[in-house]
Chain A
């Protein structure tokens, strides 16, 4: 009955109530969105670096190298010589090394030349068909297969670079030999083939020694920067030699910590390449936008404080009108504690409703964000996930704000002098 009374009371003055709930909803929505985003973002980023101690790649920004080669979200820093990379891949410290060669895309999904080890690094298996063996055989990521409805045996043409609108390599068709199992990691959105396929796709007669990155985003050529597709036709059958070939990066896992410590210097001193640690770079990235997230979080808590004040003012203002109601409840047999409970409960109910709405709104926002990041970065967030610990703390904080806002009005109701109130009526 007290709950019913509190519930009816808060909706009896709907404007005050709506203001308080809107403010609470806004703050809870922002905070829960941030909690979910941060948690899932970090999880996705961290899960992808499992099994990668350093990335060997062309000089440039180490963060860019990591983003491009591990997460497939940025343009690569450039190419490295396959023969030179190979000597380092055989280094005694190295436990495993997975070469990567980027070239084309199919409808915006990257086609990556690599070895079957790349699948096992992500814990993926070939769920249908078989692994790529011959040139131009590809294994398609689970997510792509689902979205584009690709089946084993399908054929398609890749587009050059990483923009879906790039020129189409019509001379060679890729053939789907298998479909990878879903992992929830970047591999779900990649098309994998062997490295010679990438080389063959970009082979041409006019060799140029240098391979400058074009002005376009992520425009990486293997072998020369001018394509002349007319010459490709009679080249089909030619075996691709490794001589003078280039790849984009190598994912390295060490046998022990030694490599982790010594390699960055070793590589920098002896080669034109760099060895970047994904753990360090990603930490740097997190701490960079961690500041932004924190600022947003403070803002949200600020809004929550304001909503607390708004509840306080609303309760305090109506206290004058409601003192007859309170006196009457006392006359009807309500104890002081029941009045105290009533006022506290009204405030807590408001906060509870605000929390529920906020949690829902935050998840709707995450759903919207997820669909846009899915389009742009092939990265999705799960709006139905619950981070019990952090959201639990948020819940407690919200309820605490409610209690805090109601303390003074509740005590005033508790101390109400019924006789005086009724005598002055």
Chain B
């Protein structure tokens, strides 16, 4: 492999893990398969409950520290970051979408998305937030409190919030499990479309059959 090729490879690959292992109190041990994903690509992580799907997602998001192994996002090895730097890195480079949407309840939809940009960068990306929410079909809802929205709409706000900082990596934990078919497909479409648009690698943890049918790139935890 020439040096040029190697350089090209490292810049293309958005996320790469090696020999990740984690254990809860030394009792429950997980060893995860290596992951390597380019920008714009989608990976589905499936597996039964208790197999460590959420644990892996939290490791990738820097919410948990791995016992061994390495995670590289872009050019950064996140194992090497201090807590404070990791918080900043996470805000800027990782978008997280959860099964249940949580929001700052006292803030409106728009303020929630803007808050996310402010926390990560110190800047209020108001225009960006507006255009993202419009793209997600929420233009009429932006000044409502999040609790006034339907679950499907809330999930779309989560997507807007995860994307507002144009992250390199988009992580979604069971994003469709509480949605009906119509909303589930809509969310799946939006996720794959927007992650491509923003050049983010998308990793979805799910046991939702509807998603398994939609995305072919899958690994299963056993």
- A-to-B contact residues, CB < 8 Å: 1, 5, 8-9, 11-12, 324-325, 327-336, 338, 418-419, 422-423, 425
A235 to B52, CA, bound (A): 116
Query: Given A5, A11, A335, A425, which contacts B104 in the complex, CB threshold below 8 Å?
Result: A5
A422 to B55, CA, bound (A): 11
Note all chain B residues with C-beta closer than 8 A to A338.
119
- B104 & A419 in contact (Cβ 8 Å cutoff): no
User: A1-B124, A5-B115, A333-B120 given as contacts; is B87 within 8 A of A328 (CB)?
Assistant: no
Query: Given A8, A332, A419, which contacts B106 in the complex, CB threshold below 8 Å?
Result: A8
Q: Would you list 15 pairs from A and B whose C-beta atoms are within 8 A, ordered by A residue?
A: A5-B104, A5-B107, A9-B104, A325-B105, A329-B115, A331-B61, A331-B90, A333-B90, A333-B91, A333-B121, A335-B84, A419-B63, A423-B55, A425-B98, A425-B100
- B-to-A contact residues, CB < 8 Å: 54-55, 58, 61, 63-64, 83-84, 87-88, 90-92, 96, 98-100, 102-107, 115-116, 118-121, 124, 161, 165, 173
A425 to B61, CA, bound (A): 17
A393 to B41, CA, bound (A): 61
Q: Which residue of chain B has its CB nearest to the CB of A321?
A: B105
Q: Which residue of chain B has its CB nearest to the CB of A12?
A: B106
- B87 & A422 in contact (Cβ 8 Å cutoff): no
- B92 & A329 in contact (Cβ 8 Å cutoff): no
- B96 & A425 in contact (Cβ 8 Å cutoff): no
A336 to B118, CA, bound (A): 15
Note all chain A residues with C-beta closer than 8 A to B121.
333
A425 to B119, CA, bound (A): 22
- A332 & B161 in contact (Cβ 8 Å cutoff): yes
Query: Given A332, A334, A419, which contacts B64 in the complex, CB threshold below 8 Å?
Result: A419
Note all chain A residues with C-beta closer than 8 A to B102.
324-325, 327-328, 425
- B63 & A422 in contact (Cβ 8 Å cutoff): yes
A11 to B96, CA, bound (A): 28
Query: Given B63, B83, B92, which contacts A333 in the complex, CB threshold below 8 Å?
Result: B92
- A332 & B107 in contact (Cβ 8 Å cutoff): no
- Most chain B beta-carbon contacts within 10 A, residue among A336, A338, A419: A419
Min CB distance B132 to A, Å, is 14
- A1 & B118 in contact (Cβ 8 Å cutoff): yes
A11 to B63, CA, bound (A): 31
A296 to B105, CA, bound (A): 41
Q: Which residue of chain A has its CB nearest to the CB of B54?
A: A423
Min CB distance B34 to A, Å, is 21
Note all chain B residues with C-beta closer than 8 A to A9.
104, 106
Note all chain A residues with C-beta closer than 8 A to B106.
5, 8-9, 11-12
Note all chain A residues with C-beta closer than 8 A to B100.
425
Note all chain A residues with C-beta closer than 8 A to B64.
419
Q: Which residue of chain B has its CB nearest to the CB of A337?
A: B84
4 further A-B contacts with Cβ under 8 Å, apart from A1-B115, A333-B121, A425-B100, are A334-B119, A335-B84, A422-B58, A422-B98
